[in-house]
Chain A
């Protein structure tokens, strides 16, 4: 049986803290040192130098992997339900007067909403849409 605590915190104890960043720093320094040793040894002992360089490169590759693929779990790493701005467009069928305002609960398309400010007609909701999203750049124009 799962406890309430487990339910509320599915991954308690697995948060990555400063320790991971410290480990990355240490690995980075050791890799740098290994590369340095590789360069030093290159003229005298090429075999050993290659091993040093390999270790240094592997260290940096591991850091890259940690940073770009296995992102540390932090409190900010959340997905929240996005609230978007939604607008209601009203049009007067008599004088074609148009008005755009923020959406309010109870609005629906084809609703006779409020009196027209220009004539004695009643404005109807003709459009309810959210704010235009910024268009993403196409990766390749030929697609």
Chain B
């Protein structure tokens, strides 16, 4: 080493020339290939994400097959059928002429639900209704992850083929959000496999706590309601029928209840989980007005329609949670928040109604692992 440095110092002028030439060379190379280097860097990051998504997607598929085999006791190998169903797609509605699209959406969603039920029934003939609902949800997770995987792979391979930075950037820019969504779905595998309550079910838990012990009846498909007396008022509370993984048709539930009572309802209160903004604590209970319900928008539209028909004010209670909590097994702050939400409902009832009034309380969300 000493000898090498000695030689270097002796021939410093030569080295200087070499280094300068190298420097110029690197500069010229960078001038022409900077974008290509950046492209390769982005491709590598997409590849890392793609590998992660593939692992989770395969886990969801395997979990679905394992659960179907354990619960449904099918005869023969169900893997090809599960793979075919994981590739199942729904073509979105054409909204060129939006008039009447809500009814079309209603029909579309019911068809979709019917297909899922029929497929799962064939896959798992020995499963109970509750287990079938959970399996439907598990397969839906597998389908969602499969779509994420295929879209990311499409852009990755397309980018690799064309080496076009703009093709690659489209997916590279949204990678963090995509990964966040994939992680959220992955945490739901365990919950749906074993039938555990999830973050989305907080609305159903709130109403479950209010209606437990009172006589219950079905008011719409997969919707149960109970009449609960409270401080001289009558609370008509309803939620999707648990403990299977279902969201039911709360819009139909509300319509039926209001039509039954000819609109003689003082206020409607909807309770649902809501996405929190960064910085907001998990399980924060917020109050507002409007219909607290997500989904396709069909349910929200119909609930607003019927409330508007009878001019009934709609109050909303939102329980804040992160994307990672929505389908994951329930965390403690969220369960604790359900007690606070029950208190909020009671306070709203006392503040905005008089004794003798009727109040409708709707617990929105997936009721997996939640009875009533």
Chain A positions near chain B (C-beta within 8 angstroms): 10-11, 14, 34, 37, 40-41, 45, 48, 51-52, 54-55, 69-71, 73, 77-84, 86, 103, 105-111, 127-130, 132-133, 143
Given the complex of chains A and B, what is the CA–CA distance between A80 and B189 in angstroms? Answer: 11
Given the complex of chains A and B, what is the CA–CA distance between A35 and B150 in angstroms? Answer: 47
Given the complex of chains A and B, what is the CA–CA distance between A40 and B370 in angstroms? Answer: 75
Q: Does B75 contact A (CB under 8 A)?
A: no
Chain B positions near chain A (C-beta within 8 angstroms): 8-9, 12, 15-16, 19-20, 22-23, 41, 44-45, 47-48, 50-56, 59-60, 63, 153, 156-157, 179, 182-183, 186-187, 189-190, 194-197, 205, 208, 212, 242-243, 279, 328-332, 334-335, 369-372
Tally the A-B contacts, defined by beta carbons under 8 Å: 131
In contact, A70 and B242 (Cβ under 8 angstroms) = no
> Contacting A10 at CB < 8 Å: which of B51, B189, B195, B279?
B51
In contact, B189 and A108 (Cβ under 8 angstroms) = no
In contact, A128 and B16 (Cβ under 8 angstroms) = no
- Please give, as numbers and ranges, the residues of chain A lying within 8 Å of B153 by CB-CB distance: 10
> Contacting A83 at CB < 8 Å: which of B15, B53, B190?
B190
Known pairs A40-B9, A82-B187; list 6 more (Cβ under 8 Å).
A11-B51, A79-B182, A80-B56, A80-B59, A108-B243, A109-B242
What is the predominant secondary structure among interface residues of chain B facing chain A?
A: helix
In contact, A108 and B51 (Cβ under 8 angstroms) = no
Q: Min CB distance, A88 to chain B, in Å?
A: 9
Q: Min CB distance, A93 to chain B, in Å?
A: 9
Contacts A106-B195, A110-B372; is A11 near B50 (CB within 8 Å)?
A: yes
7 shortest interchain CB distances as A-B pairs: A108-B243, A79-B52, A110-B371, A11-B47, A81-B186, A130-B329, A81-B189
Contacts A10-B47, A37-B19, A86-B329; is A109 near B55 (CB within 8 Å)?
A: no
What is the predominant secondary structure among interface residues of chain A facing chain B?
A: loop
Q: Min CB distance, B5 to chain A, in Å?
A: 8
Q: Min CB distance, A94 to chain B, in Å?
A: 14
In contact, A73 and B186 (Cβ under 8 angstroms) = no
> Contacting A79 at CB < 8 Å: which of B186, B197, B371?
B186
Most chain A CB neighbours (cut-off 10 Å) among B9, B44, B334: B44
Given the complex of chains A and B, what is the CA–CA distance between A11 and B47 in angstroms? Answer: 6
- Please give, as numbers and ranges, the residues of chain A lying within 8 Å of B212 by CB-CB distance: 110
Contacts A55-B23, A70-B41; is A110 near B370 (CB within 8 Å)?
A: yes
Q: Min CB distance, B345 to chain A, in Å?
A: 18
CB pairs A–B below 8 angstroms (11 shown): A10-B153, A14-B47, A80-B186, A81-B63, A81-B186, A81-B190, A109-B243, A109-B369, A110-B212, A130-B328, A130-B332
- Please give, as numbers and ranges, the residues of chain A lying within 8 Å of B52 by CB-CB distance: 77-79
